[in-house]
Structure 1
Amino acid sequence: MATLYGDGPRHSNTDLQDYYDSVPPPHRLSDMNTPSSFSTQDIPLIPQSPSGHATRSYGAPLASQPSAMESSADMTTGYRDYDHHGYSDHDHITPNDAWMEKGASTGSGKKKWVIGGILGLVALIAIGVALGVTLSKKSSSSSSSSSKSSSSSSDPSNFSKDANLKLSFYGIAYTPAGSQLPDCGNSLDDVISDIQIMSQLTTRVRLYGADCNQSALVLEAIEQTKVNVTVFLANYPVSTDNDTAYDRQRDLIKSAIQTYGTDHIGGVTVGNEYILDYLNANGATDPNGAVGNKGAELLIANINDTRSMLSGLGVSLPVGNADAGSYFNDLVLEQVDYGMANVHPWFANVSIDQSAGWTWEFFEVNDVQLAQSLSNTPEMYVAETGWPTKSSDTADESNGPSTASVANLQTFLDTYICQANTNGTKYFFFEFFDEKWKDEQYGGVEGWWGLFNANRTLKDGITIPDCVLS
């Protein structure tokens, strides 16, 4: 296993870690400097005991220095996903045949419409009307290039299904469009459309924060569409604002639970890469060192407050935390019911043909083993994993061995999704659709991680793996 691991843009190795900001949700990893006994040849397709696995190590990340992005005073203006520090020396990892086995794919043929026999004005009008109806129906049905669901009536639960979408994903990472402060341009209609589509791909969705009333919007959309979807609500606290962001989002989450109950809530995640951000802001690198433990003290106060809020409502929900792949603080994990780890082969400079196996190995070594070593054994999820489909600048078109492309996203889908389902990995695929605001503000690959385009159409060239979860 490489001595340095992290997710960062393709700049120099010394400044990969400097690409930070505390606006959620970054997709940072970290480094591993203990050689692993795994190779991708050893990755099982069934759950196994971690005995014999390499010892988990956080390693020593590169020294953090402030970046231009970190100087922003507004830490709550939006949710975004960043890259971080560097990895290297993954060449010894060889693809595993089982992980590289592609999921079944189904093509979609295009219908041909023939209009003929126009014998008179009446016939012409009749045919025109018939053609209009036919095209309308065709437009409302989804295809590989147009997957935006539409309700066939005023009832959002009566919507057209897309045969090209498969219920194959354990979960999907999602932020409703327009959920960034101060604008808050999200809408119930858009969230309903998103839930209609995602319900054909997964039964689980995770959010990153609660600003702009997104918790209530998602729960209302689930209620109106009557789909089988569970959402993990989230609160993104900031360590430097005297709990202003935390309190604001806690109250929004509380209101949503009071309105909609808990039937469609899987848990409440408090913090997204909080410890990593805290370490960077305070010039430290060890999540379990003195600085990391100080950050943990602040975060645990938010976690306990969330538990008190839920208890006051008379409800019982799991409370969790999300952080970079090997930046979990042990004290934090000991206080939660679940942990969510961001694991991105792209930012680890891993080649696409090795990425599926590498993702599994990194998660097992850094996160699953850690959880199993703690007395409360929190449940662990992959919070984010995926592959970008393009870059807005040439500098970030490649992570070194592989490019950002639709073809490589397809490869990752084909080599990770069905295999992860088989071996029991609980993951949230990153992400539902492209987010234009990220591209406009940050460039590179930041805005191009979606399975779908920003207009909610499935990206041309993407075939959803067919391994429906029971």
Structure 2
Amino acid sequence: MRYSGLLVLFLVAVLNLAGWAYMNRPIEPRPWGEVMNGVDYTPFRGDQDPRNNKFPSEAEIEQDMQLLAGQVKQIRTYSMLDGQSEIAKIAGRYGLDVMQGTWLDGRLERNEQEIEALVQAARTHGNIRRVLVGNETLLRADMPIQDLVQYIRRVRTELADRHIEVSTAETWDIWLRYPQLGREVDFIAIHLLPYWEGQAPDKAVEYALSRYQQVKDAYPTKKVVITEIGWPSEGRIRRDALPSPTTQAAFLRGFLNIANQRGLDYFIQEAFDQPWKRNIEGSVGAYWGVYNADRTPKFPMVGPVSDRPHWPQLAAASILLALPLMAWFLARWSDLRFSGRFFFIALIQIVTSALVMVVDSGLRTYMSPGIALMWAMLLPLLLLLFMVVLAEGLELSEVIWASRRQRHFLPFKTDIERAWPKISIHIPAYNEPPEMLKKTLDALARLDYQNYEVLVIDNNTKDEAVWRPVEEYCRQLGDKFRFFHVAPLQGFKAGALNFALRNTAKDVEIIGVIDADYLVEPDWLKSLVPYFDRADIGFVQAPQDHYDWKNDTFKEFINWEYAGFFQIGMVQRNERDAIIQHGTMTLVRRSAIEHVGPWAEWCICEDAEMGLRLLAGGWHSIYTDRRFGYGLTPDTFSGYKSQRFRWAYGAVQIIKRHWRDMLPGDERKLDPMQRYHFVTGWMPWFADALGLVFAIASLAWTVGVLVMPKYFELPLALFLLPVVAVFGAKLAQFLWLYKIRVPCTLRQRLGAGLAGLALTYTIAKAMLFGLFTSKLPFIRTPKHEDQAAFVQALIMAQEEVLLAALLVLAGIGMWNFQGGEDPEARLWAIVMWAQSVPYWASLVLAAISTAPKPPSKEAAPAQATPVVAPVVTSAPAQGTPAQ
């Protein structure tokens, strides 16, 4: 087994390395080993930003000139202000010519300062051979052409005696649109940036040169200078334009070789990355540099180029990060078949590699406050999704590839001769229909067990017509049945159960709890009580099941949704003695309750909380997947939701009270696997809560992207794809496990999946409420509610429908306004639509719950005729107080 584990590790490590190598396979464009003609230069670094008055020092500019000297012949600048007035002087020290630029816009006073400083610098520094009056001024529509022409004429006049060439920089199409502008300049300064025009990287150089030729043909007597040409290394995809280090290297090295052959006059856009530009041009605006913002080169000009040249280190880091979890898994799950261990080890490696890739992308990202906020929101979601994937992948591995079940408990034979301990069966009831409760009592009267009592605790029911018939029926059933009506009684169901404990016969050894609607099988007690012969067994649990779902599509679907928990989740938890106790069909050792304390009246899931305390108190549990009782399903979607809300809210209450029990430590009795199952069992519910937060944030973020695109950017695809992938993986896993463990049809599996999705919002809401509140009133699951009209379906799912509609509209808006240019915008729209699916599922299930139903053909499991004892007036059992 040890050698097979090492083989699994070896195979997964090899495949991981192969995957990293494939994703980062290098390209080798034509090499470039000569000096570039020119680069565009903006001096800002890191967090420097002219809008915040953070300017580079002269020492920093000089460091840049030292770096560029010998690499380029000349530089082109954009402004005479914002700390850039000394660039020409410093460049001259290193033999660099300067095409000095000015920035013109609608700020007339600032324009005047730019022009005056330009003229003075051009007359002062001999290395300024050409000047540019404005940059893309007409493209941005910052001023009419006649005003720009006036500025150009003024500069030409003031520099006429210096023989300095004067022009303005615009994109190629502006020059074609305004031929009168060409008559005012000494040369044509064009920008060729095929990325912004959505060109594919392999065709971008050819496209740029065709536009160059088009402008040159339009101005045959003028020299055409390419004052901006380049490709970004990161940012959003724009139609076919993919920014990356390899596409940038291929574009630049390809263009430089052609430009050298043709003798073109050009300036590469740009020398250094400018992080401050992302709020002007979007994320891509920060990544046009040949060098990073820290002045390190992005790629070599000779030899192969990779998007992640450090991928071997990243691959090694992903293996080392995964190794402890892999070793833990192999040590704990040595009983899994080879294919199961390989599957989960590979899943661990995929998740850790994805995490390393995300972190690496973050480290390469220039973080603006908005981007930092986006990462702060999305990274926790991603981590939780990864944990959910691993937890569900482990469950899948155990179900499919376990060699055998370690703790498989079958019912005992009921015909054995032995001493049977006394059992007290407690039935808490509040405002329950009398006829329903009578059926429950009838089933208990048919138990094939002699030494037991039944306590019905009706708490706080106000209508005497509801509880009086039950009281009378208990008298008819005999002295084993006792009825208590208690009002007022605090503590909800837990309060009723604690009242029952105080009124239990002294000689009772085992406490049984069932819901008021449950019909138990006659062999329930004899089949399970013998497990208490083991002195360390604290409780024995049988599954819940239902009998009223046939001929009712809504109840059929939710019945099979429940079944998944009892036939998959509980079975796997039982393997590690970590089951969740639930408040019906449970048998608890009385001394165990006395050891850990009574039912928790502060918690609305007192059953699960009791089970946790019993396990933490050193007791053990037994779970059998044999059904011994059947109850009623909720009649409506609102009842179904309120029940699940109570379970989820109670889970948070338990976590907040018992979080220390989930931490490792010798002073606690939960073992590591029990802690694992309690944590991972609730993790998908927290994922639903975070998903709801993400959905609401997505709506707000989409509005920001559409209304204020300069300040809001779409999340990276690395964040978006896992959201969609996990959604699909959870659905596939759900259907796969159901097919193996739950004996239902494909239609019923799909219906169960629909029911589970429909609860996503309810669970998320309950988890969030639970995190921020400490007490919520007990929410009773309604029984036998009247059928609702279709309009009631809309009311029952109104919050979900509103959220779903908003997500769909936001996706449509994103697709229509940005999807044509940006594949990532289309991906974001798809993510929005995918997020709406669980909320639409709520409406579908609510509508199904209101659909007309044929008459029921089977109201309950077939059982013997109820046994009703003659009316006997007797005192309460000895040692118990009379009501």
Shorter-chain TM-score bucket reads: 0.5 to 0.7
Residues 277 and 350 of structure 1: is their aligned pair in 2 closer, same or farther, counting only changes over 3 Å?
same
Matches within 5 A, 1:305-324: 305-311=154-160, 314-324=161-171
Q: Which residue of 1 aligns with 2:101?
A: 234
Matched, 1:200 2:70: yes
Deviation at 1:301, TM superposition (A): 0.6
Out of 201, 204, 220, the position equivalent to 1:352 is 201
- Whole-Å separation in 1 of the counterparts to 2:224 and 2:120: 27
Q: Helix, strand or coil for the counterpart of 1:211? A: coil
Out of 270, 279, 301, the position equivalent to 1:463 is 301
- Whole-Å separation in 2 of the counterparts to 1:103 and 1:355: 15
Deviation at 1:348, TM superposition (A): 1.4
Q: Which residue of 2 aligns with 1:244?
A: 109
Q: Deviations over 1:85-124 (max 9, x none)?
A: xxxxxxxxxxxxxxx994336xxxxxxxxxxxxxxxxxxx
- Whole-Å separation in 1 of the counterparts to 2:49 and 2:65: 15
Q: Is the 8 A contact 1:338 1:378 kept in 2?
A: yes
Out of 306, 324, 341, the position equivalent to 2:190 is 341
Q: Helix, strand or coil for the counterpart of 2:278? A: helix
Q: Which residue of 1 aligns with 2:243?
A: 404
Residues 442 and 326 of structure 1: is their aligned pair in 2 closer, same or farther, counting only changes over 3 Å?
closer
Q: Helix, strand or coil for the counterpart of 1:200? A: coil
- Whole-Å separation in 1 of the counterparts to 2:170 and 2:280: 23
Matched, 1:378 2:216: no
- Whole-Å separation in 2 of the counterparts to 1:379 and 1:464: 31
Residue identity opposite 2:133 in structure 1? V
Q: Is the 8 A contact 2:193 2:229 kept in 1?
A: yes
Q: Which residue of 2 aligns with 1:445?
A: 284
Matched, 1:325 2:172: yes
Matches within 5 A, 1:66-465: 102-104=29-31, 166-177=33-44, 178=48, 180-181=50-51, 183-215=53-85, 217-223=86-92, 226-238=93-105, 240-241=106-107, 243-258=108-123, 260-261=124-125, 263-278=126-141, 295-311=144-160, 314-328=161-175, 329-365=178-214, 367-372=215-220, 377-391=221-235, 396=236, 398-439=237-278, 442-459=281-298, 461-463=299-301
Q: Deviations over 1:187-246 (max 9, x none)?
A: 11111111112222211111112112413x2122123xx3221101112222x33x3232
- Whole-Å separation in 2 of the counterparts to 1:322 and 1:230: 18
Q: Helix, strand or coil for the counterpart of 2:283? A: coil
Residue identity opposite 1:218 in structure 2? I
- Whole-Å separation in 2 of the counterparts to 1:175 and 1:184: 13
Gaps spanning 5+ residues in structure 2: where?
1-26, 304-883
Residue identity opposite 1:412 in structure 2? F
Q: Is the 8 A contact 1:180 1:211 kept in 2?
A: no
Deviation at 1:413, TM superposition (A): 2.0
Q: Deviations over 1:47-81 (max 9, x none)?
A: xxxxxxxxxxxxxxxxxxxxxxxxxxxxxxxxxxx
Tell me which structure has the larger Cα radius of gyration.
Answer: 2
Residue identity opposite 1:248 in structure 2? Q
Residue identity opposite 1:299 in structure 2? L
Deviation at 1:323, TM superposition (A): 0.5
Q: Is the 8 A contact 2:119 2:155 kept in 1?
A: no
Residue identity opposite 2:96 in structure 1? V
Deviation at 1:412, TM superposition (A): 0.7
Q: TM-score, normalised by structure 1?
A: 0.54
- Whole-Å separation in 1 of the counterparts to 2:258 and 2:292: 25
Runs of 4+ in 1 over 6 A off after TM superposition: none
Deviation at 1:421, TM superposition (A): 1.2
Matches within 5 A, 1:22-61: none
- Whole-Å separation in 2 of the counterparts to 1:193 and 1:179: 18
Residue identity opposite 1:255 in structure 2? Q
Q: TM-score, normalised by structure 2?
A: 0.29
Q: Is the 8 A contact 1:351 1:401 kept in 2?
A: yes
Q: Relative to structure 2, which stretch is displaced further, 168-177 or 439-448?
A: 439-448
Q: Deviations over 1:315-357 (max 9, x none)?
A: 2211111111111221121011012111111111111111111
Q: Helix, strand or coil for the counterpart of 1:381? A: strand
- Whole-Å separation in 2 of the counterparts to 1:446 and 1:192: 24
Q: Is the 8 A contact 1:352 1:402 kept in 2?
A: yes
Q: Is the 8 A contact 1:179 1:186 kept in 2?
A: no
Q: Is the 8 A contact 1:275 1:323 kept in 2?
A: yes
- Whole-Å separation in 2 of the counterparts to 1:247 and 1:341: 24
Residues 309 and 356 of structure 1: is their aligned pair in 2 closer, same or farther, counting only changes over 3 Å?
same
Q: Helix, strand or coil for the counterpart of 2:101? A: strand
Q: Helix, strand or coil for the counterpart of 1:221? A: helix
Q: Is the 8 A contact 1:179 1:214 kept in 2?
A: no
Residue identity opposite 1:180 in structure 2? P
Deviation at 1:406, TM superposition (A): 0.5
Q: Is the 8 A contact 1:246 1:302 kept in 2?
A: no
- Whole-Å separation in 2 of the counterparts to 1:414 and 1:237: 32
Residues 298 and 199 of structure 1: is their aligned pair in 2 closer, same or farther, counting only changes over 3 Å?
same
Residues 257 and 458 of structure 1: is their aligned pair in 2 closer, same or farther, counting only changes over 3 Å?
same
Q: Deviations over 1:146-191 (max 9, x none)?
A: xxxxxxxxxxxxxxxxxxxx54322101112157256151211111
Q: Is the 8 A contact 1:181 1:211 kept in 2?
A: no
Q: Deviations over 1:266-309 (max 9, x none)?
A: 2111121122222xx7xxxxxxxxxxxx9221111101111232
Size of the alignment, in residue pairs? Answer: 272
Deviation at 1:253, TM superposition (A): 1.9
- Whole-Å separation in 2 of the counterparts to 1:103 and 1:399: 25
Q: Helix, strand or coil for the counterpart of 2:208? A: helix
What percentage of residue pairs aligned between the two structures are identical?
Answer: 21
Q: Helix, strand or coil for the counterpart of 1:171? A: strand
- Whole-Å separation in 1 of the counterparts to 2:225 and 2:271: 17
Residue identity opposite 2:78 in structure 1? Y
- Whole-Å separation in 2 of the counterparts to 1:257 and 1:424: 26
Deviation at 1:462, TM superposition (A): 3.2
Q: Helix, strand or coil for the counterpart of 2:195? A: coil
Q: Which residue of 1 aligns with 2:366?
A: none
Deviation at 1:458, TM superposition (A): 0.7
Q: Which residue of 2 aligns with 1:43?
A: none
- Whole-Å separation in 2 of the counterparts to 1:464 and 1:170: 18
Residue identity opposite 2:151 in structure 1? N
Q: Is the 8 A contact 1:101 1:414 kept in 2?
A: no
- Whole-Å separation in 1 of the counterparts to 2:91 and 2:302: 23
Q: Which residue of 1 aligns with 2:674?
A: none
- Whole-Å separation in 2 of the counterparts to 1:230 and 1:464: 26
Q: Helix, strand or coil for the counterpart of 1:327? A: helix
